[in-house]
């Protein structure tokens, strides 16, 4: 049985980790870390766990936690994991960090976009970017995982096959993204109040969203060239879900069958990436509560562009589900253990 500790267990991603791990046959949660709710019973924070989780919340002492568990999930704001991790801890325990601390390989880029000093840059090169469908073999050998962001996961998986095969002009990529409000976290913010969000949709982080360099970096690896792109996220009045619509110019004329074969080349054997049937557009309601990413594409011969689409649950595949998927790979378990979730509807 894998002993699990969670730092940041009372945020939305942390709560989703608890929900998933409660049904994991090979894992047991030993530590519910939450700086805000120390000594408070976990179910008093999330009443859905009443008579399911009776443990009390503890602090974020990573040094003590490393002696008690096999893996630590850090579902915390940017900067915390980097400020706590050290070589002694990594020699004792594996870490899956759900923040952005180790996702971007260039320290200056991280510090520019996140506005904070990186506290442990010596571990950036070692950290493996935990997009399982692309970095599976490296993840299996890792002791530190940078769990990808929600927008980058959906964006990268939607575009990756065409970028990898060189079918699109990477200088023309534009990504339009929509997310439910849980993506903004559980902290109290005026912009996330019911009256601000309900019956409303808005762009935010225009030309400045922090996930932009992460998406650019991953698509640069895929295409083998430096990628600069426009990424514009929007907040929509729903709890969960991400929808990506990306546009790019095709380098040559292609048929539907040719492009479908490219997607199938990369995803036909992937449990959690579903390439939809022709002309079926991804929808967030068909992936809600699950670890699936639905992707598809549409060729526009009139403009010689291709539209790439993806939908997923931002708290599952976009955060906690992907983190559990990474843990499964790190410990040699069945990759889908604890994640065999049929999407919820309605």
Residues taking part in catalysis? 150
Q: 275, 273, 261, 283: which is closest to 339 by C-alpha?
A: 273
What DSSP string describes 163-227?
HHTT-B-GGG-EEEEEE-GGGG-SS--GGGSHHHHTT--EE-STTT-TTHHHHHHHHHHHHTS--
- Beta-carbon-side half-sphere exposure of residue 267 (alpha carbons within 13 Å): 24
Could you tell me whether strands 94-97 and 305-312 are parallel, antiparallel, or unpaired per DSSP bridges? Answer: unpaired
Angle between helices 150-164 and 212-223 (to 10 degrees): 20
Q: What span, in angstroms and rounded, lies between the C-alpha atoms of 185 and 12?
A: 6
- Non-local CB neighbours of 345 within 8 Å, separated by 6+ positions: 285, 286, 288
**CA distances from residue 132 to 67, 100, 139 in whole angstroms, order as listed:** 27, 17, 7
- In the chain the first and final C-alpha atoms are separated, in Å, by 34
| H/E element, 235 | strand 230-235
Residue 301 near residue 122, CB atoms below 8 Å: no
Mention every residue, 6+ apart, whose C-beta is less than 8 A from residue 66: 72, 88, 89, 92, 93
């Amino acid at each position: 049985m894998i002993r699990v500790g969670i730092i940041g267990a009372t945020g939305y991603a942390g709560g989703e980790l608890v929900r998933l791990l409660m049904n994991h046959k090979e894992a047991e949660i030993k530590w519910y870390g939450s700086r805000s709710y120390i000594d408070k019973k976990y179910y008093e924070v999330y009443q859905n766990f009443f008579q399911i989780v009776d443990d009390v919340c503890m602090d974020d002492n990573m040094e003590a936690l490393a002696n008690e568990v096999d893996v630590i999930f850090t579902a915390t704001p940017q900067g915390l994991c980097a400020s706590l991790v050290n070589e002694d801890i990594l020699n004792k325990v594996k870490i899956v960090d759900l923040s952005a601390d180790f996702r971007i390989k260039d320290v200056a880029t991280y510090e520019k976009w996140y506005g904070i000093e990186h506290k442990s840059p010596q571990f950036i090169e070692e950290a493996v970017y935990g997009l399982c469908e692309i970095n599976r073999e490296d993840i299996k050998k890792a002791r530190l995982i940078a769990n990808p962001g929600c927008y980058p996961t959906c964006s990268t998986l939607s575009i990756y096959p065409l970028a990898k095969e060189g079918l699109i002009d990477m200088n023309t990529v534009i990504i339009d993204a929509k997310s439910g409000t849980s993506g903004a976290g559980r902290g109290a913010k005026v912009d996330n109040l019911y009256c601000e969000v309900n019956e409303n949709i808005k762009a935010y982080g225009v030309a400045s969203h922090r996930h932009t360099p992460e998406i650019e970096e991953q698509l640069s690896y895929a295409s083998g060239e430096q990628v600069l792109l426009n990424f514009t996220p929007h907040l929509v009045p729903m709890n969960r879900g991400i929808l990506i619509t990306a546009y790019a110019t095709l380098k040559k004329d292609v048929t539907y069958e040719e492009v479908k074969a490219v997607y199938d080349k990369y995803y036909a054997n992937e449990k959690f990436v579903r390439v939809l049937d022709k002309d079926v557009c991804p929808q967030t309601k068909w992936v809600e509560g699950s670890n699936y990413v639905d992707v598809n594409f549409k060729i526009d011969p009139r403009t010689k562009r291709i539209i790439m689409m993806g939908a997923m649950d931002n708290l599952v595949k976009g955060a906690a589900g992907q983190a559990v998927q990474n843990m499964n790979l790190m410990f040699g378990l069945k990759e889908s253990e604890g994640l065999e979730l049929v999407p919820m509807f309605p």
